[in-house]
Amino acid sequence: MTSDKPTYEPARDARDLEEAAATESSEQRLYYLGQAALCWSDDGNHVRALELLAEVAAARHEYPDQNWVLPLYAYELFTVGRAEEAWAMVEAAEEHIRSAGGSYDHEQLAGYLADAGHLDRAVDHYTAALELLLGGDDRPDRDPAQRRGAQEHSPVPRIRTARRQIREQLGLPEDALDRTPDPTAPQRPSFAERWRLRRRT
């Protein structure tokens, strides 16, 4: 049985997004270019990804929502050996997170840092993400899935797993953040409540 779901072909999708960007202006154009850069990155075309990311990043002060490209931009710069510029993008991403970010932003930056081989810095951001979530101080509006109403599960287990894997690579033991209860997880009804519901049916 074949699926009707379109197959992800990054180069094709990147070209489609660039074509869409050509018909738009302002922030929508920048959004399409950023998404096209993400597709080119997946396709391994780092040169084209960097060209598009440079354009989007240059407009981020005028359009702050486009700061989402900074972790990807840093990763692409690391990939092509432009480490000094890459660290400048990491620092810009961290500055944005301090002023307007949430656990989602920390998680995204951590993932790209880990992919680039910078595990110590990645752990720092996974830790920061968990601390926001477990402390009830997060900004869920920063997560695109939350904005679409599509976030059905707590991100805590996913972030914990990624953080634990990297800490193990670094030879670090389990710590308190691995054991702290997740306040964002749906709470199972008590036995008394389940019994009341059962009797009503």
**Hey, what are 149's tokens?**
């109403």
Better pLDDT: 145 or 12: 12
Q: How many CB atoms lie within 10 A of CB 119?
A: 16
pLDDT of residue 147: 46
Query: What is the residue-wise DSSP string for 7-40?
Result: P--HHHHHHHHHHHHHT--HHHHHHHHHHHHHHH
pLDDT of residue 144: 60
Whether residue 150 has pLDDT greater than 50: no
- CA atoms within a 13 Å half-sphere pointing along the CA-CB vector of 48: 17
pLDDT of residue 2: 54
pLDDT grade, residue 145 (50/70/90)?
Answer: low
Closest CA to 33 of 20, 45, 46: 20
**The model's pTM:** 0.84
pLDDT of residue 189: 53
Each as own residue / partner, the long-range contacts of residues 82-88 (CB below 8 Å, 24 or more positions apart, any chain) are 86/116
DSSP 3-state of 131: helix
Strands (DSSP E) found in 22-118: none
Look up residue 184 and give its DSSP letter. Answer: T
As a whole-number percent, the residues of the chain with pLDDT over 90 amount to: 73
Tell me the mean pLDDT in the region 25-38.
95
